[in-house]
Every structure is written in structure tokens, then in C-alpha cells.
Structure 1
Amino acid sequence: MRTNHSPLVWGYAVVALLASCQYGGTSRVLMVTLGGTRSHKIPFLELARGLIARGHNVTFINAFPPDAEVVGLEEVTPMNLVFYVRNYTDWDLLGVRMSGSEPVPPADVLRYAYYSCDAVLSDPETHVLMNSGRSYDLVILDGAYPECAVGLAFHFRAPFMYINTVAFYMGSVAHGGGPVPFSVTPFFARPFSDNMVFPDRVLNAIYLTGIEVVHTVFIRWCLEYLMKDYFGPLMPHVFDMVKNVSFILQNGHATVTYPRPYLPNVAEIACIHCRPAKPLPKDLEQFVSGADMGFIYVSMGSSVLTAKMPDMLRHMFIRAFEQLPYRVLWKWEAGEGSIADLPDNVRLGRWLPQQDILGHHKIRAFVTHGGLLSMFETVYHAVPVVTMPVFCDHDANSAKAVIDGYALKLELQELTADKLVWAINQVIHDSRYRDEVRKRSKLLRDQPEHPLNRAIYWTEYVLRHKGAYHLQSPAKEYCFVQYYLIDVALFCLIAGYICAKLFIKLNSVMIRLIVSHITNQQSSNEDGVTKMKSEANGFSSGSAEITLRRNGNIVSNSNSVSVERTISNGESHKIGACLTNGIKQRR
């Protein structure tokens, strides 16, 4: 455990004393992130700085070297976790992406979740903390797969909340009962948008459903058994603990991610770390100020090590940079002198103050991997960007920037020096890119308070009320079938089927009754006609035997034929007419 001190600590103590008067007390807060890249740590550091200034005591478990700039922060860096994370990211991610493969496939993500959990829980420093007898008023976890760390909240019997460090990952929001409609929620590891065509929606639904199923099986049958080895058999089911999250600080904003239907227990804090640029160190200032045409900044973030890129890719970058009329600042972990054929207009730096560079008035463009925090910073400082996604959420972040009109995206497996030169010149010389990023910057900055102040407020809100369970949705208790009304849909289908069958059956019975009635009526009519016909036949037979004489002549009985015909035609009223004719003839 390491606590950071400096001569400024007394000044912070005075500020903390004044702040505690407003809040009403000092609380103990435990922060935990098992994220494999330093970008996961940065939002926690900013919130820790703000909470410490407000008089709270903060302990932070993570896998990266302590930050001396955050005065009063106690950092716990379990060495087992440090070594595992270092080995996990210490390889050529760029080269793997260039080959067309997935640098971090889903199986590796699950493997990382298991072994990082085992690393932190098995470490002596973690055991010292757990057995120290300390109590914490609040535990703040990384919302990107928080299942392992939620065991620490159970151990300390404290309410917990998330900082969701991956803006496009909505799993932690969904587990807390929040609505996450697949139709407008793109999978965080693919370049989808919130306005997908049918094939993309099909793929998106498959990805999101698949990852949820695999994630659930992994937690239930692997990680939960590991955690019970450390927290005891009385530990509740992991998903029963996870859904009890009090509040979520979502590292996103509608101007740089997508609009979301959040519940009251979610607040957006995108750009919590963003700040106005400060003056550059003297040597860097001399380099960029001497660029008549301005300069380009190139950085692949903290997780993608450019010094490990393939020689072919390095030569491609160098050939592109030497064609540019601009100077180039290039973050290169091996430092200056490690590239023999470096052009005169390029300067390397093992570490470079990114926000101060992006905020410099002479910067023309930013070439990056598309990491979330880098995209926030480029929008905040209004710099057009060229992205080359590598893994995780880089594709989704880049796709959103392209949609918003301030970025061009290049695929590493298709990259050439000429394409890189073209893309840089395009975002510089086409004013639409600069105009769009300035527009986005204004939208991002136009908020009622700084995201850090918002995060501090809601953190202290949870502290004041010992959790924020009244903000939770009852949907967190629903299973998949209940939440999406699948049971209701099945009920409606079955009820509709039964009603349809009854209707068809009743309709069939009614038709049979009607047909039977009509048939009986017709049969009755036919019987009457037959009876009349029989009577008529008897009458005509008698008539045929009558011999009518007139003037000594025998009169023909053809009239009887007429009688039979008229009867058979149903014209019985003509019988009288026939008889009358016979009588007249006889006369």
C-alpha cells in the first residue's frame, strides 16, 4: 500500500475541512478496477482527486504504478495482478490486427476476467486489506465486468456503485434493471451505430445475446466457484449481488457516444478527466512552435505499444510522415534514438502530455487508435482525427466519430503510406472535419456542471443515504423471459390459438345447423310437391277413361295429357282450364 504525500497536502487538508462542513462528515471509500489498460484507471483517479478534496479517505486497488499527483490517495497494487496485466498487454496488438485476426478474441476476455480475479484475490496485499479490520462506507467498482470486485463489497458489507469505463458496454446497466434495447444499442466491439439496417440488427442481436449467454455461463460455472474459495460458501450468487448496484457513473455523453434511455440511477460523466491545455514543456514547445504549417500528433494510447509494431508498419509510418509538410509528434515507448531512419520533421516521445498537445493552437490533426478517452479529448479540444482501430471498443468509437463527421477511419490490414498521407491531408484541408469537431466540442462543453462535480454529487448522494436503492428499477429482478414479455407473448399466442380454434369449431357447427335446416325445408317442400303430383296423376287417369262424344264423334283425351303436364310443371291451377275446354268440346 502506498499513500501519496506532497508539500501541497496541507492545502488540500484545508480545502477538505471546508468541504466536509458542507457534506457533514468524512467517509471511507474503496475503489477497485481490474481493467487491463491504464485508461480504466484515469476516471477513478479524477473522482478520487475530487473526493479527497472534499475530505473523504480513498483507497484504490488497481494494476498500475501509483500516481504521485493525486495527493492523499492510498493505492494498493497487488503484484500478482500487476504482473498478469503487464504480460497480458505486452505484445504486438497492431501486428495481429494487420494480419486480419482479432487481437483480443472473446475467449481471451473471459480468460482475463478469471485470471485477473484470481491474481487480485490471491495477493498478500489484498489479504492484508481484507483482514485489516477496516470498514468502508462505499465501494466504487469498474462497470466493465465488475463481478469479481463485487465480492469485496460483500466482504466489507458496503453499498457499491460503478464507474462504467467502457461507454459502449451496456451490460452493467442492463444487470441493474436499465433498458438496453438491442435495436439501438450497438455491440461495443463492432462498428455498428444506433441506426442499423436489417442485416446489422440481426448481427448485433446475435452478438449481444451470445455474449450475454456466454457471460452468464462463465459467471455461474467458473468465476463464482473461484470467488467462493476466497469469500466463503455463504457468499450470495454473483448476479444477485451485481443487480443490487446503487448508482452508475456512465463514462459517455450523447454528443460523443449515443443517446440512451437511462434510469434515475445513471449519470453521464464523459470527459471527467478533460481540462484546458497547459503550456507545453520547453523542448516540446520549441519543436511545435517552429512548425510553420503546424504539427500532427500520433499516439496509440497506453494499451497499444507502438514500439512493438511490425517493421513493415513502422516503415510505412515513416514514409508517410516524411511526405507531410507538417511536423510530427509521435508517442513511441522506446524513446528517441530507437529509430535510425527517423525523418527530421518527426520527434519521438516515450510519454507526451496529450491534452496539452491537443489544446495547442498549432495542432492540425490527431492520428490515433480510437480509444474512448482519446476520442473524448479530441472532441473537447476540437481536433479532427484519423483513426486506426485495434481492438475492444476502438471500432465502435471510430464508427461514431465518422458518423459525426470529424474523423476518417483506416483499416490496418489495408493501410499504405499513401492512404495515411491522403487521410491526414483530407481531415486538415477539408474544412468540414474541423467545423464538425468544433460543433461537437461546443455540445460536449455545454453542460450545467463539470462532469467531475456531477460524479462527486452522486457519490456523496449514495454516501448520505447509505445506498440509493430507491432509484433502482424492479426490472432488475426480472428474468429475460419476464423482462421482454416473452411469457406474455406466449400467453397471447396460446390464447389466440385457442380462440381461433373455438371460433372455427363454432363456425363449423353453425354452418352445419344452417345447412341441415335448409335441407330439411327443401325436403319438406319436395314431399308436398310429390303428394300433389300423385293426386294429379290419379285424376288424369280417371279423365283418360272418360269418352266424350260430340255429334257422334269420340273426343280425344289429349286434354288429360295437358293435365299431366301442367301438374308436373307445378301449374295445378290450369287443371280447371283443361276441364273447361273438355266440357266445351263436348257441347
Structure 2
Amino acid sequence: MWKPLVFILTSFTVHMSEAYRILLISQTLSKSHAILAEGLIKHLTDAGHEITYIQTIPPEKPLPRVTVVDISGILPRRDDFFHTKSIFEKRLNSLNLMTGFMPDILQRSRLIIEHPNIQKLIADNNQHFDVVISEFMFNTIHAGFAGLYNCPLIWFSPSNLNWMVFDLIDEATNPAYSVDAVSSSTLPLTFRERVAELGLHIIKRIVVMLWTTIVDNAVYEKNFAPLIRERRNIAPSFESLAYNGSLVLSNSHPSMSGAVRAPQNFISIGGFHIDRNVKPLTEDLQKLMDDAKHGVIYFSLGSNLKSKHLPNEIKRDLLSMFGKLKQTVVWKFEEDLPERPTNVHTVPWAPQQSILAHNNCILFITHGGLLSITETIHFGVPIIGIPAFYDQYANVQRAVNMGYAKKVDLSYAMTQDLEFAIQDMLADSKYTTRAKELSEIYHDRTVPPEKELVHWVEHVIKTRGAPHLRSPAFIMPWYQKFYLDLAFVALVLIFILKKTLLITIGIKKTIGKQKKT
């Protein structure tokens, strides 16, 4: 009797729950960013929603309840840019964001909008969406989709916390107590660091004002504004759309990035991409790790850099050094590596989360990507970071400052430095202890990050943009924030008072002279 009742109640619940239509835009030519986007998709579709997914790296297999808008091939993948050997010769620091990354991002954004599949999508008057979720990569052109479909906009920030993210929904954070996305400085800042952060902030703001905003506005006026006018007669300004986001979903958490001053519509969901049910290892890898009585050291340079592209002398030296260890080494290496020591095992693709989850994984040698940093905190494994470009330097330095990591420079002398770092970390349990402490902080949440993100996406849709969460500082004119209107009134009053006093004094003098006469 109870089974039909359960079926009826379940059917009623499903019927009553609303399935929303969501447009998700991911523009980065990076596997790690695709992993994050597909994490968003998984949790939102599990909640019953439908996704239209604009992606430069389409999923390898069809996803249920997902319509993929394939824009792959808009730009050739710059494998030379990620070639490990070339990284030895150049480092991609913050200024390269403007001289290297930014032109690439702006060009890619324009080509995405002008792609035939996107033009077909935005020209279809039958398309509608309840919310737009766009990856924020230092420009805001995709706010045009929210304007076109007249729906709320949610920004997804895949990178470290930075003032450009907060500038979307609140005031830009003060560089005196917050650092740039690629900065390796930690709080409290020294005088020199504060000056450097301020200078970088000013330079980037000038770049945004005089370059990226102008480029984005031109793309908006060409592609979105005419279509919006066809549908609703008047098109809002690009600036009003770009800074009309309902909230930011941030791939961050205080256990990894520290505390930050943030408005209520800034939501930390760092770790949402990690599978709660860790997938089992392959039979041979499971046995290898189970039998590693001295523990396993896992080595991976991520999805962009390739270990096979390391200079031959580096590969030779690493194998020789690893061979001296009593620990088992699992190395993500993209091709066969002959003449390996017996304790070194290579895998062309590594199930990283499953490896880190194993009790015998005692150390992770990583490039320091944000996903890897998140996963090592999730599973409580200490790291040795070998950063190569962009935010990896900041990620690794932050991990060092938080006490669960050591840093090794990517150089021709790295093998010896890496050996010293391994021996130091294996001999001192403080790194593992600190990693476990941060892992406890990471897991001690009111709700898991995947439930957090689904709740807030649905909340934004239900409340038509969640205007009640928006910071009052965001809508206040800058001259009011600095009380310039009060200063103006005070100056006027002082001027009037001064004139009045002068007139009064003049009258008194005149009266005095008359009396004397």
C-alpha cells in the first residue's frame, strides 16, 4: 500500500519543482575551466534544470538535459604557449595579463559573439532563458546575453579573489589589505607591497577604462544592441548591463585564500567540482598504491603543461632522483618513459582525485593550478609547488605561507631543489598536519558547495535578480561615497558666511565713521 503512495508523492514533488532554462558561457581554452563548467552543469541538471552550454571545449560525451553550442576552433589552441620547455625561458606574470592574455581574451570574446552558431542562437526569437551564468575572465561582454534575454546575470569567477571580481557587484577592494589575482604577497602587506599592489591596481583600472570597456562596448553595439531594439525598442547601455550582475559564484574558500571583505551576493563555492563519491582506481593502480608501504608521491604538471615536453636532461635527472627514494612515485606522463626505476610508475592520464583520496598518498608535486590546490586541501595532502605561469605563482606562494607547502622554481636546476624539498617534507610532519587542519576547515560548512551553488542560482531566478542582496555601496554615486556633495555644501556655506561677515564688518565701519562725523 505504501509504495503507490510514495510514487504519487514523488511524482507530485517533481511536478511542483520548477525546471529553469539556464544559459552557461565558458570561454577559456583550458581543460581545467571546462572541468569547472561541467561541474556547474552536473549539479544544476541534477536539480532538474536545462542548460544551454556555450563552450570552446565541448564535452567528450553527451550530457543529459544539456544543449551544447559548439564554438570550438574559434582560435587555434596555442600549444607553443603551454609548451613546458618554453616556460623555462619566460614567466607569465601580471603585466603579461595585459600584454599577452588580455589581447587574446578580447579577441576570443569578439570571435565567440561573431561565431555562426552564436549568431544563430541570438537571432532566434523563440529562445528564452531564466538566467545567464557567464565565466568572468577580465571582460564583461557576455553581459549582453542577459540584456538580450531580459533575465538576471550571474558571474562565475574561476580564479583567485581579486578587485576586478568585486568591482562587478560592489566596490573594488582596497589594495592596502587585498592582493591582485596573480600577486604572491600575503597579509599584512609591507609598505613596499602596498605600493606595488596600488600601482598594479591603478594600471589595470586604466586598462579597463581605456581599452577593454571600449572594445566590449563596440562588440555589444554591433551584435546585441540591434537585436534588443528589435524586441524591446530600447537597448540599455552596455555599462548598465555589465554592472547589473545579481551575484558572483566564486571558486574560492577561506581555507585556500584566506578571509576577504565581501558583500552578501558574493558566494564561495570552492570545491564544487570534486566528486563526493570518489571513483575507484583501476585495478593495477589500486594494487600499486595499496602495496606502497612507504607511501606514494604523486607528480603531475596539470592538463596544459606536458611532462613529456620537459627538456631531456630534466627528465633524466628526475628519474635518477626519484629512483633514490623508498617511496613509490606515480608520475602523470603523456607517453611511455623507458628505463624507469622500479619505484617510478607513469600513467598517461591520472585520476587525480582518486589518487589524492588514497590513504597512502603522502605528497603531491603539482604545478599549482587552482583546481589542484582545491583538491589537495579537500583531501588534506601537503604539496610541493612548481609554478609555471599566471596565478600558479600566487597559488603556490599562498600555500607556502599557509604552512602546507614548499616551492621549487621551474628551472634547469630544479631536480636538486626538488630532492631537498621532498626530503624536508618527508622528515617533518608539520606539513601534513597543517594540510589536515585546513582540510577540516574546508569541510566544516553548513552545506556542501554544490548545494550552495544550486540554491543561489534558483534564488536569483525566483527573486528576479535578487536585488535585496545587492550592496548599497554599489548603487551610490562615487561623489556621495567621498562626501564631495557635503564638502561642496560646506564650501558654499563658508563662502556665504565669509561674505556675510565682510558685509557686516563693512556696515559697522560705515556706521562708526558716521557717528564720529
1:225 paired residue among 218, 240, 245: 218
Alignment TM-score, normalising by the size of structure 2: 0.85
Q: Give the 3-state SS of the residue equivalent to 1:357 in structure 2.
A: helix
| Aligned position for 1:323 | 324
Preserved CA contact (<8 Å) 1:219 1:238: no
Partner of residue 123, structure 2: 131
> CA-to-partner distance for each residue in 1:53-93, whole Å, 9 max, x for gaps?
22211111111131438433222221333xx2x52355345
Which residue does the alignment assign to 2:267? Answer: 267
Is contact 1:363–1:383 with CA below 8 Å preserved after alignment?
yes
CA distance in 2, matches of 1:316, 1:215: 45
- Count of residues in Structure 1 that have an aligned counterpart in Structure 2: 480
- Residues 1:18 and 1:393: Cα distance change in structure 2 (over 3 Å): farther
Q: 2:78 aligns with which of 75, 88, 95?
A: 88
Distance 1:318 1:408 in 2: 20
Is the 2:314–2:412 contact (alpha carbons within 8 Å) kept by the matching residues of 1? no
Question: Judging changes above 3 Å, is the alpha-carbon distance between structure 1 residues 26 and 80 closer, same or farther for their aligned structure 2 residues?
Answer: same
1:170/1:303 CA distance change after superposition, 3 Å? farther
Deviations 1:216-267 (A, max 9, x none): 2222332321332222456544332121001111211111112112211111
Q: Which residue of 1 aligns with 2:239?
A: 239
Identity %: 24
1:488-538 deviations in Å (ceiling 9; x for gaps): 79869x969x89xx9xxx9xx9xxxxxxxxxxxxxxxxxxxxxxxxxxxxx
- Say whether 1:311 aligns with 2:312: yes
The question of whether the paired residues in 2 share the 8 Å contact of 1:168 and 1:393 is answered with: no
CA contact (8 A) 2:139 2:213 kept: no
Displacement of 1:141 in angstroms is: 0.8
| Residue aligning to 1:551 | none
SS in 2 for 1:459: helix
* Aligned residue among 77, 94, 100 for 2:70: 77
- Specify the alignment match of 2:473 in structure 1: 475
Tell me the distance in 1 between the aligned counterparts of 2:349 and 2:9: 31
| TM-aligned CA deviation for residue 128 of structure 1 | 2.6
Q: Distance in 2 between matches of 1:15 and 1:434?
A: 48
Contact 1:80–1:123, Cα closer than 8 Å, also in 2: no
Larger RCO, structure (CA 8 Å, separation 6 or more):
2
Q: Which amino acid aligns with 2:250?
A: Q
Q: Which residue of structure 1 lines up, in the alignment, with residue 512 of structure 2?
A: none
1:114 to 106, 110, 127: 106
Looking at structure 2, the residues matched to 218 and 314 of structure 1 have their Cα atoms a distance apart, in angstroms, of 43
Distance apart, 1:468 and its partner CA = 1.1
1:343-376 CA-partner distances (Å, limit 9, x unpaired) = 3322222221110000011111000111111111
Q: Which amino acid aligns with 1:299?
A: S
Q: Is 2:24–2:134's contact at 8 Å kept on the other side of the alignment? A: yes
The answer (yes or no) to whether the contact 1:29–1:138 under 8 Å persists in 2 is: yes
Distance in 2, Cα, partners of 1:311 & 1:430: 32
The partner residue of 1:187 within 176, 180, 183 is 180
Q: Which moved more, 1:238-247 or 1:270-279?
A: 270-279
- CA-CA distance at 1:203 after TM superposition: 0.3
The corresponding residue for 1:282 is 283
1:419 aligns to 2:417 (yes or no): yes
Structure 1 residue 102: deviation in Å?
2.5
Contact map agreement 1:79 1:123 (CA 8 A) in 2: no
- In terms of Rg, which structure is larger? 1
> How far apart, in 1, do the equivalents of 2:69 and 2:142 lie?
14
The answer as to whether partners of 1:189 and 1:391 remain within 8 angstroms in 2 is no
Deviations 1:173-218 (A, max 9, x none): 2221245121221111121113211101110111122112112222
- 3-state SS, counterpart of residue 426 of structure 2: helix
Following the alignment from structure 1 to structure 2, what is the Cα–Cα distance between the partners of residues 237 and 314? 54
Call closer, same or farther: CA 1:430–1:481 in 2, change over 3 Å: farther
1:56 aligns with 2:46: no
Which residue number corresponds to residue 298 of structure 1?
299
Q: SS of the counterpart of 1:80?
A: coil
How far residue 20 of structure 1 moved from its aligned partner, in angstroms, is: 4.2
Residues 259-307 of structure 1, C-alpha deviation per residue, up to 9 Å, x if partnerless? 1122111111111122353321112113323323121111122222333
Give the whole-Å Cα distance in 2 for the aligned partners of 1:481 and 1:64: 44
Change (3 A) 1:15 1:267: farther
Comparing 197-206 with 315-324, greater Cα deviation is found at 315-324
Q: List aligned pairs for 1:563-578, cutoff 5 A.
A: none
In 1, the alpha carbon distance for the partners of 2:73 and 2:278 equals 36
The alpha carbon displacement at 1:486 in A equals 8.2
Report what 2:456 is aligned to: 458
Contact kept, 8 Å, 2:29 with 2:77, in 1: the verdict is no
* Aligned counterpart, 2:514: none
Measure the CA separation in 2 of the matches of 1:64 and 1:411.
Answer: 30
Q: Which blocks of at least 5 consecutive residues in structure 2 are unaligned?
A: 1-7, 230-234, 506-517
**CA RMSD across the alignment:** 2.9
Name the TM-score, length of structure 1 as normaliser: 0.75
The aligned residue for residue 254 of structure 2 is: 254
Shift of 1:454: 0.8
Aligned with residue 141 of structure 1, among 125, 131, 134: 134
Letter in 1 for 2:158: T
- Tell whether 2:88 aligns with 1:98: yes
* 3-state secondary structure, aligned to 1:223: helix
